[in-house]
Amino acid sequence: MKFILASASPRRRELMEMLRVSPLEIRPAKGEEHPDPGLNGEETAAELSRQKCAEVAASADPEDVVIAADTVVWLNGRIFGKPHDHDDAVRMLMALSGRTHTVYTGVTISRGGQMRTEVEASDVHFRELTMEEIEAYIATGEPMDKAGAYGAQGYASLFVEGIDGDFFNVMGLPLCRLGQMLKKFGIALI
């Protein structure tokens, strides 16, 4: 049995390695993400993680444990995914400034023909940001590959006044939930 992380995210890989999950193979899903536009943030995160997991599990050994995740930022009925460009990142960060938004991460695990999906939600409180701060942050390059155009574990930690919920969820992989889900597959990490 090996663990297969169906993600190219360096943060998710780092979190799995922190838990000393072994052997660990990184096998990102290659398919296009096609969520139903009528889904809310929670449903979108769940659906996208299911799609990724199903794709990778189709070519995995049945004894392998495939783990997929997808994270979205949700504010006022809108999903904030990864920014397309500089202007998109500015738009997202301006919208998040001084407000509370919800981060949803869908986690799907597949093993032995069984698949299970759960979603973690965390509320993130941003302080008011100036345009100078937004531009300086974007210039670091950090926001360009992250949902909502920020990483709470990096420079954007200077923007986050508080988090209600799992911090690791905001990083892209809710570890407490993951551990509980793995137990349902008969796997204890500790």
- The residues carrying an active-site annotation are 70
**Selection from 190, 136, 141, 145 nearest residue 171 by Cα:** 145
Cβ atoms of 133 and 98 within 8 Å: the answer is no
**Selection from 154, 114, 184 nearest residue 10 by Cα:** 154
CA atoms of 42 and 73, how far apart (whole Å): 9
Cis peptide before 28 (omega within 30 of 0): no
Per DSSP, the residues of 48-81 read HHHHHHHHHHTTS-TTSEEEEEEEEEEETTEEE-
Cβ atoms of 54 and 4 within 8 Å: the answer is no
**Cα 78 off chain centre by:** 16
DSSP 23: S
